[in-house]
Amino acid sequence: MIFIVTLCGLILTAIILFNRAKKTELHPTNLQFEKLQRSYLTVYCLATFSDWLQGPYIYKLYSDYGYEEEEIAVLYIAGFASSSLFGTFVGHIADKYGRKMLCISYGFFYSLCCLTKISSDFYTLLFGRILGGISTSILCSTFEAWYINEHVNRLGLNSDWLNITFSMAGFYTGFLAIVAGIVCQIFAEGFNLGSQSPFILAIPFLLTSSYIIYNTWTEDLHPLFATHHRFIAPLYLIFVQNPMLLILGLIQSMFEAVMYTFIFSWTPIITNLNPPLGVVFASFMLAFMIGSKIYSLLLSDRLRPQMILVLTSGLSFFSFSTVALVISYILYTNKSIDLLTNVCFLCFVLYEISLGLYVPVMGYLKGLVVPEEYRASISNWFRVPMNIFTCISLTLNRVSNMDDKESGLKETNVTESDVTETDVKEIDSSIAVFRKFQIIYLLCSLFLLFTLVASVMFKKIYTRRYFIEESLSVPIGIVAENDSLKDKSLSS
């Protein structure tokens, strides 16, 4: 019941917010901006839609091939490890030789990844996960880096308009996720084409995105690209030269580490409610879309992005810490209570709203703070701690599953007269799930607390620097690049 009520409430909230946003959102009439935005969003939507098509059926595909949870966890870990290992090289190549080429290669790498899903061979699937990790690194850094360079450097557009594009991208991402879930269901279950069909369906969208990029995207190679030779130069910039960049990187790493952990951890927490997963997923994506619209409305009310980042971190911390407290209470009392599990679900909805706020505000702040010559490289270095933490979380989950099996939790031999004993075992099973994820949610809450503190620190530094540079009429990104040039001249 709570799932349907929540979905209806979210739909009503979305309608109200969308109507209000039409009256208050900023709509620039600059033709160059509209053309660039349309070109970027068309390709970005194709790229993200193809990614969403694969998400719902990855686990089911591996399960249909007969792999156990431990083997599936290894495949997942391989994907995140690949993104962490190769992502830094991807960023370096993009910054040195241009982002357009890497964005084109995204469609081909991910298409090969999808083709590997046809095979049931473990090592073929493992190779596919490695390709998927590389592709994800490109999607999460290089597309954004290309757009910011074109927007700020080639066309010299108002940097505040970055907010509009990233907010729209977040909104479309949530909408396309819902559409992708429905399309997957139709092809895999409705047409009975199997769990491989969503991956094959994604290939035309991927190749179309590459084709459009090749034919329509331009690229103004920034003058500083030619000086981009040292692979570890971005690390020096992050840890030594620019403390504001270091803090922003910590915020992104910790926040997104929790985000990726949430992807595989929310389902077990609410399993005892027998949730309709399609309705739950639609609710989450609606909440994400609502978050992106709230971001636009907050900007129209003159709330600065650095303050929105603090609010986003606070909301996410409240959501996860509440879930962690609920899990701890259930374990302390040794009983599973549906009412408390409902609270967890509502906290997950709040967390999705915070994600809808986070995506555009982080994109905007990185657009201003990260120096252009290292934009893709730094974005991928920021993702390394996130991928490592996600791998650790998956490993903890895998070890916990093995311990559960060894402790005999698989025993289910009961007779029809053992109704009470069966109920007890169901409760014990729920308790085992909560115990498994307690440490993960506590760690995530701690990460988000650090994120909140770091966001407050970033707000103070950014605001102080913003007003200084605003009085000098110099954009923040340009000052960051000037700092980089000064450092190079001193080191030489």
Domains observed in the chain = 36-218 (1.20.1250.20), 232-401+429-472 (1.20.1250.20)
User: What per-residue confidence (pLDDT) applies to 223?
Assistant: 56
Of 245, 233, 197, 187, nearest in space to 61 by CA: 197
Chain Cα centroid distance, residue 214: 26
User: Where does residue 466 rank: exposed (0-12), middle (13-18), buried (19+ CB within 10 A)?
Assistant: middle
User: What per-residue confidence (pLDDT) applies to 429?
Assistant: 64
Encoded tokens for 193: 């084409």
Q: pLDDT tens, position by position, for the chain (492 residues)?
A: 899 999 999 999 999 998 888 777 667 889 999 999 999 999 999 999 999 999 888 988 998 999 987 898 899 999 999 998 898 888 888 888 889 999 999 999 999 999 999 999 999 999 999 999 999 999 999 999 999 999 998 999 999 899 999 999 999 999 999 999 889 989 998 899 999 999 999 999 999 999 999 999 998 765 555 555 566 667 777 666 788 888 999 999 999 999 988 988 888 899 888 888 888 988 999 999 999 999 999 998 889 999 999 999 999 999 999 999 999 998 888 776 788 899 999 999 999 999 999 999 999 999 988 888 888 888 888 888 888 888 888 777 666 565 555 554 444 444 444 445 545 555 556 677 788 888 889 999 999 999 999 999 999 999 887 655 555 544 444 444 445 444 444 344
Whether the pTM exceeds 0.95: the reply is: no
User: What per-residue confidence (pLDDT) applies to 486?
Assistant: 44
- Cα–Cα distance measured from residue 101 to residue 301, given in angstroms and rounded to the nearest whole number: 39
Q: CB–CB of 147/364 below 8 Å?
A: no
Following DSSP, what letter does each residue of 354-400 receive, concatenated?
HHHHHHHHHHHHHHHHS-GGGHHHHHHHHHHHHHHHHHHHHHHHHHH
Q: CB–CB of 86/383 below 8 Å?
A: no
User: What per-residue confidence (pLDDT) applies to 475?
Assistant: 47
Q: How many CB atoms lie within 10 A of CB 158?
A: 15
